[in-house]
């Protein structure tokens, strides 16, 4: 009985590792497939997506599953073309980068709660004061000022 | 019991000027951690006292503390309702006291609900960030352990979460703007946020701000705690990096601006970056240990006093 219990942490860890491996693997695939969709100007079939991936030996069903997941998450759109589905990116890469940065730079309370920014953007007058301080620092002696300690 | 309710009401009312005074005080920047604990005590103490005062008026004739009184009142109402009918019940207890009790319960529910809603919104926004980062961000040898997003605006932030799901993000703009030492200082600062879960410290104050947008004290409390957690992360970063690197990183990122936020959002935080920089370059002595202990005791008292009036029968 004790032997079984001893193994529980190791089993849990193995399960967690396997899970995170699968998640990472899936994340890599999603990213690679989105890159293919962003590169292309036309909607692509599953076969064309497979063909454009650097990793060539992926099963057709794997690529299809990942495309399906991307469509469910809203990153890919699919449309019927005869008997096949064609996939394209729902928005450009730049649009997603902009969304990422805007949500990080937005300063209303709700966003602030989600992310912690290093320095919030400042008003024009404060920015001017900061620039002057920076110039003064550059001209001053470069002695290293230590903080207050702990 | 009326006396206990009155004391709780006075306590809740006193928390408001106390909050204003704490927001205006200068000593918190000498010991941000102690000041954060006091803010937390003050916030929790106010919540307990406000809910307790309302509930206390409602259950005023019971002799078993506010919590016990409310329970006794509820069970009596239910018991009479089943046996003797509604007329005596209406004549006997309904009225202002029941209203006060209801208001107390409502306030408690609203406070809890707002906290849950704020947390849910935060979790949603972070999940979206992580998904987008997994599709868009890449590593860079200049910033080991951080993710880089190809955007020209200078930005550095972290996405807090459990150990494996937290992320530090640096924009390509910030990567160009800062030198190697400054980048290391930025990352040390963000690591401190993640390790000490400053997001969880700030969350109740953001929830409070959502609930009482019209309240100047709620705004002051939120701005003060937001600045204090930044100062605390700065202090932690100083364990690994010199102050000057962190200060110039702050100056550069702050001066780069990049986005123009609506003035309302900025007004409360105006001068915060400058305050952090001057604190790094001209450090004030830290508070003596005795003062920190005193502040800790004060924080415990601000929670313990209303908690005692709520639970101890008179």
Please report the DSSP string for A18-50 in residue order: HHHHHHHHHHHHHHHHHHHHHH-SS-EEHHHHH
Whether A137 sits inside 8 A of B253 (CB atoms) is no
Question: Which of chain A's residues have a Cβ under 8 Å away from the Cβ of B190?
Answer: 116, 118
Answer yes or no: do A55 and A117 share one domain.
no
This model of the complex carries an ipTM of 0.75
Within a domain: A134: yes
Answer yes or no: do A48 and A77 share one domain.
yes
Domain interval for residue A56: 2-89
Answer yes or no: do A115 and A132 share one domain.
yes
* Range in A10-14, A82-86, B95-99, B208-212 with the lowest mean pLDDT: A10-14
Domain CATH code at residue A26: 1.10.10.10
Answer yes or no: do A75 and A6 share one domain.
yes
| Residues B233/B193, Cβ–Cβ less than 8 Å | yes
The closest of B267, B230, B228, B283 to A125, measured between CA atoms, is B267
Answer yes or no: do A74 and A108 share one domain.
no
* Number of domains composing chain A: 2
| Residues A106/B261, Cβ–Cβ less than 8 Å | yes
- Chain B stretch 226-285, residues whose beta carbon is closer than 8 A to a beta carbon of chain A: 226, 229, 233-235, 238-239, 242-244, 247-255, 257-261, 263, 265-266, 269-274, 276-277, 280-281, 283-285
Which 8-state DSSP code applies to residue B28? G
Please report the DSSP string for A97-140 in residue order: HHHHHHHHH--SHHHHHH-EESS----HHHHHHHHHHHHHHHHS
Tell me what pLDDT residue A146 has: 36
Q: Provide the pLDDT confidence category of residue A66 given band limits of 50, 70 and 90.
A: very high
Q: Which residues of B161-193 are buried (b: 16+ CB within 10 A; e: fewer)?
A: beeeebbbbbbbbbbebbeeebbbbbbbbbbbb
Answer yes or no: do A31 and A60 share one domain.
yes
Within a domain: A144: no
**Strand order through the sheet with B147-149:** A116-117, B156-159, B167-171, B147-149
Residue A80 backbone dihedrals phi, psi, to 5 degrees: -70, 135
Q: Is the pLDDT of residue B184 over 50?
A: yes
Whether B235 sits inside 8 A of A127 (CB atoms) is no
Of A97, A122, A137, the CB nearest to B273: A122
Answer with the one of A89, A105, A123 that is the final residue of a domain: A89
pLDDT tens, B21-56? 999 999 999 999 999 999 999 999 999 999 988 888
Answer yes or no: do A100 and A47 share one domain.
no
Answer yes or no: do A40 and A57 share one domain.
yes
* Range in A140-144, B91-95, B168-172 with the lowest mean pLDDT: A140-144
Give the relative orientation of helices B243-256 and B272-281 as an angle to the nearest 10 degrees: 160
Question: Which of chain B's residues have a Cβ under 8 Å away from the Cβ of A99?
Answer: 132
Answer yes or no: do A62 and A75 share one domain.
yes
Q: Provide the pLDDT confidence category of residue B63 given band limits of 50, 70 and 90.
A: low
Within a domain: A61: yes
Tell me what pLDDT residue A109 has: 54
Q: Is the pLDDT of residue B165 over 90?
A: no
Pick the more confident residue, B244 or A119.
Answer: B244
pLDDT tens, B197-242? 999 999 999 888 888 889 999 999 999 999 999 999 999 999 999 9
Answer yes or no: do A109 and A85 share one domain.
no
pLDDT tens, A13-64? 665 655 555 667 788 899 999 999 999 989 999 999 999 888 778 888 999 9
For the record, the structure tokens of B310 come out as: 């709520």
pLDDT tens, A94-141? 999 999 888 887 766 555 677 788 887 677 777 788 888 878 877 654
Pick the more confident residue, B191 or B2.
Answer: B191
From A134, which residue of chain B is nearest by alpha-carbon distance? B251
Tell me what pLDDT residue A150 has: 33
**Strand order through the sheet with A44-45:** A44-45, A84-89, A76-81
Within a domain: A13: yes
Sign of CA dihedral B13, B15, B17, B19: negative
From B202, which residue of chain A is nearest by alpha-carbon distance? A113
The C-alpha atoms of residue A19 and residue A11 are separated, in whole angstroms, by 12
* Range in B3-7, B59-63, B223-227 with the lowest mean pLDDT: B59-63
Tell me what pLDDT residue B267 has: 43
Pick the more confident residue, A6 or A58.
Answer: A58
Answer yes or no: do A84 and A116 share one domain.
no
Answer with the one of A89, A112, A128 that is the final residue of a domain: A89
Contacts 24+ apart (CB under 8 A), A16-25: A20/B164
Tell me what pLDDT residue B238 has: 94
Give the CA count within 13 Å in the CB-facing half-sphere of B77: 16
For the record, the structure tokens of A112 come out as: 């602030």
The C-alpha atoms of residue A134 and residue B272 are separated, in whole angstroms, by 16
In Å, the largest CA–CA distance within chain B is 80
The closest of B270, B311, B116, B263 to B203, measured between CA atoms, is B116
The C-alpha atoms of residue A17 and residue A53 are separated, in whole angstroms, by 26
* Average pLDDT over chain B, rounded to an integer: 85
Answer yes or no: do A85 and A99 share one domain.
no
């Amino acid at each position: 009985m004790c032997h079984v219990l001893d193994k529980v942490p190791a089993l849990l860890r193995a399960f967690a590792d396997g899970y995170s491996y699968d998640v990472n693997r899936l994340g890599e695939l999603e990213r690679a497939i989105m890159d293919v969709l962003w590169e292309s100007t036309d909607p692509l079939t599953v076969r064309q997506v497979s063909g454009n991936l650097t990793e060539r030996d992926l099963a057709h069903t794997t690529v299809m599953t990942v495309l399906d997941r991307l469509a469910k998450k809203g990153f890919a759109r699919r449309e019927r073309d005869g008997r096949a589905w064609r996939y394209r990116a729902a928005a450009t890469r730049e649009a997603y980068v902009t969304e990422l940065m805007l949500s990080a730079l937005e300063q209303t309370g709700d966003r602030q709660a989600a992310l912690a920014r290093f320095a919030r953007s400042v008003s024009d007058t404060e920015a001017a004061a900061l620039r002057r301080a920076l110039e003064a620092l550059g001209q001053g002696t470069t002695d290293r000022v230590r903080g207050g300690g702990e | 019991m009326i006396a206990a309710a009155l004391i709780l009401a006075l306590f809740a009312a006193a928390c408001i000027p106390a909050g204003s005074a704490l927001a205006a005080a200068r000593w918190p920047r000498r010991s941000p951690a102690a000041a954060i604990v006091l803010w937390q005590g003050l916030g929790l103490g106010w919540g307990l006292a406000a809910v307790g005062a309302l509930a206390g008026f409602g259950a005023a004739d019971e002799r078993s503390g506010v919590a016990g009184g409310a329970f006794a009142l509820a069970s009596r109402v239910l018991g009479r309702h089943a046996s003797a009918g509604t007329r005596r019940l209406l004549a006997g207890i309904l009225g202002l006291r029941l209203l006060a009790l209801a208001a107390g319960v409502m306030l408690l529910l609203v406070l809890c609900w707002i906290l849950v809603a704020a947390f849910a919104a935060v979790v949603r926004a972070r999940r979206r960030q992580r998904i987008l980062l997994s599709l868009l961000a890449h590593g860079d040898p200049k910033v080991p352990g951080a993710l880089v997003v190809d955007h020209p605006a200078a930005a550095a932030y972290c996405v807090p979460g459990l150990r494996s799901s937290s992320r530090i993000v640096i924009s390509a703009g910030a990567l160009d703007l800062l030198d190697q030492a400054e980048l290391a200082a930025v990352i040390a600062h963000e690591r401190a946020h993640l390790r000490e879960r400053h997001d969880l410290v700030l969350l109740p104050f953001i929830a409070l701000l959502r609930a009482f947008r019209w309240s100047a004290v709620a705004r002051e409390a939120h701005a003060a705690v937001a600045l204090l957690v930044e100062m605390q992360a700065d202090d932690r970063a100083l364990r690994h990096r010199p102050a000057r690197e962190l200060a110039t990183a702050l100056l550069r990122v702050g001066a780069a601006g990049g986005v123009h936020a609506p003035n309302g959002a900025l007004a409360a935080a105006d001068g915060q970056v400058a305050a952090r920089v001057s604190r790094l370059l001209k450090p004030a002595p830290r508070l003596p240990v005795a003062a920190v202990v005193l502040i800790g005791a004060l924080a415990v008292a601000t929670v313990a006093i209303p908690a005692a009036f709520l639970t101890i029968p008179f």
